[in-house]
């Protein structure tokens, strides 16, 4: 049995197959663009698409919900840094009952209980008692069950896209070394990104890895299909000229 030739190319496929792969590549690229926008919006409170700040990534994966809110989404409702410090310092000290009603509750009463107290409890988050707020101060980042589900979905979904993009780039005319590097990048970036979601719970500095690896993953999964399509359709010298 003869071995498959390393010279097999996507450009050798019939035109209908190349059209199908081109449309599939367009879906991957557009999907990456939409996912990037959605991730950005999930880290913001408005519809302005910008580069997410590290603080918002830390609020999602590293800090407790109450601390993350005080430094990000609730920050505009807190008058000065003293109110922010009262909440974050209390969270860093373990959310103890001691000092809560003296230092933290007055801030919550002025700024938060209108939406998170009494009969009105926005987002099913109550802040009327120490117990309510203490529960929000002990969780580090996203709840483990929710993070596990997010990990499961991303590993399967992004992993499949990386596999398909890798197969496409494998049958191009780029050098073997280039193809190996291009195939590996999205898998390595995905592993670093998802792994840092969990590591960020222990050390917020891993938020930088999430930022960098996430960008590398989206960029590589967008670039690989485009490079494959370019190689598949680009003009080549005729065999008589080779």
> What CATH number does the domain containing 221 carry?
1.20.120
CA distances from 79 to 109, 130, 142, 215, 221 (A): 13, 22, 27, 34, 43
What band does 1 get if pLDDT is binned at 50, 70 and 90? Answer: very low
pLDDT above 90 (res 126): no
Query: 218, 193 in Cβ contact below 8 A?
Result: no
- Where a domain ends, among 138, 165, 199? 138
Both 157 and 208 in a single domain?
yes
What number is the average pLDDT over the span 139-164?
92
**Euclidean distance between CA atoms 238 and 134, whole angstroms:** 73
Predicted confidence (pLDDT) per residue in 163-189, tens digit: 999 999 999 999 999 999 999 999 999
Domain holding 225, by residue range, is 13-54+142-233
Both 47 and 93 in a single domain?
no
Q: What is the mean pLDDT of the chain?
A: 86
Query: Looking at residue 44, what is its pLDDT?
Result: 55
* Selection from 199, 209, 92, 94 nearest residue 147 by Cα: 199
User: Around Cβ 27, how many Cβ atoms within 10 Å?
Assistant: 12
Give the 3-state secondary structure percentages of the chain, helix then strand then coil, rounded to 5: 70, 0, 25
Query: Looking at residue 76, what is its pLDDT?
Result: 80
Sign for the pseudo-dihedral over CA of 42, 45, 49, 51: negative
Query: Looking at residue 111, what is its pLDDT?
Result: 87
197, part of any domain: yes
Residues 6 or more apart in contact with residue 78 via CB below 8 angstroms: 70, 84, 87, 107, 111
What number is the average pLDDT over the span 45-65?
75
Q: How many domains does the chain have?
A: 2
What band does 2 get if pLDDT is binned at 50, 70 and 90? Answer: very low
Query: Looking at residue 51, what is its pLDDT?
Result: 59
Sign for the pseudo-dihedral over CA of 18, 24, 26, 29: negative
Both 27 and 147 in a single domain?
yes
Query: Looking at residue 7, what is its pLDDT?
Result: 64
The structure tokens listed for 115 are 């939406």
Both 167 and 214 in a single domain?
yes
Residues 168, 210, 77: CA angle, nearest 5 degrees: 135
pLDDT above 90 (res 70): no
* Selection from 95, 94, 222 nearest residue 161 by Cα: 222
Both 172 and 133 in a single domain?
no
Q: Is 152 exposed, middle or buried (0-12, 13-18, 19+ CB in 10 A)?
A: exposed
Predicted confidence (pLDDT) per residue in 219-242, tens digit: 999 999 999 999 999 987 665 544
The structure tokens listed for 119 are 């009969």
What number is the average pLDDT over the span 108-115?
87
**Euclidean distance between CA atoms 25 and 36, whole angstroms:** 17
């Amino acid at each position: 049995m003869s071995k498959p030739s390393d010279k097999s190319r996507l450009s050798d496929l019939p035109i209908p197959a190349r059209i199908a792969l081109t449309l599939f590549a367009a879906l991957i690229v557009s999907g990456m663009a939409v996912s990037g926008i959605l991730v950005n919006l999930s880290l913001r409170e408005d519809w302005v698409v910008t580069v997410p700040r590290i603080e918002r990534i830390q609020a999602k994966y590293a800090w407790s919900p109450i601390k993350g809110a005080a430094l990000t989404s609730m920050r505009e409702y807190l008058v000065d840094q003293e109110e922010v410090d009262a909440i974050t310092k209390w969270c860093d000290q373990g959310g103890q009952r001691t000092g809560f009603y003296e230092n933290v509750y007055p801030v919550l009463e002025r700024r938060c209980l209108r939406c998170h107290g009494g009969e009105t409890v926005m987002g099913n988050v109550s802040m009327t008692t120490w117990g309510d707020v203490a529960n929000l101060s002990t969780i580090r980042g996203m709840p483990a069950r929710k993070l596990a589900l997010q990990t499961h979905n991303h590993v399967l979904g992004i992993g499949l896209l990386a596999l398909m993009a890798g197969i496409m780039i494998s049958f191009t005319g780029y050098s073997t070394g280039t193809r190996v590097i291009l195939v590996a990048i999205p898998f390595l970036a995905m592993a670093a990104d998802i792994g840092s979601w969990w590591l960020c719970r222990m050390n917020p500095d891993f938020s930088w890895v999430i930022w960098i690896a996430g960008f590398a993953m989206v960029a590589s999964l967008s670039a690989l299909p485009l490079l494959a399509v370019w190689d598949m359709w680009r003009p080549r010298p005729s065999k008589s000229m080779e």
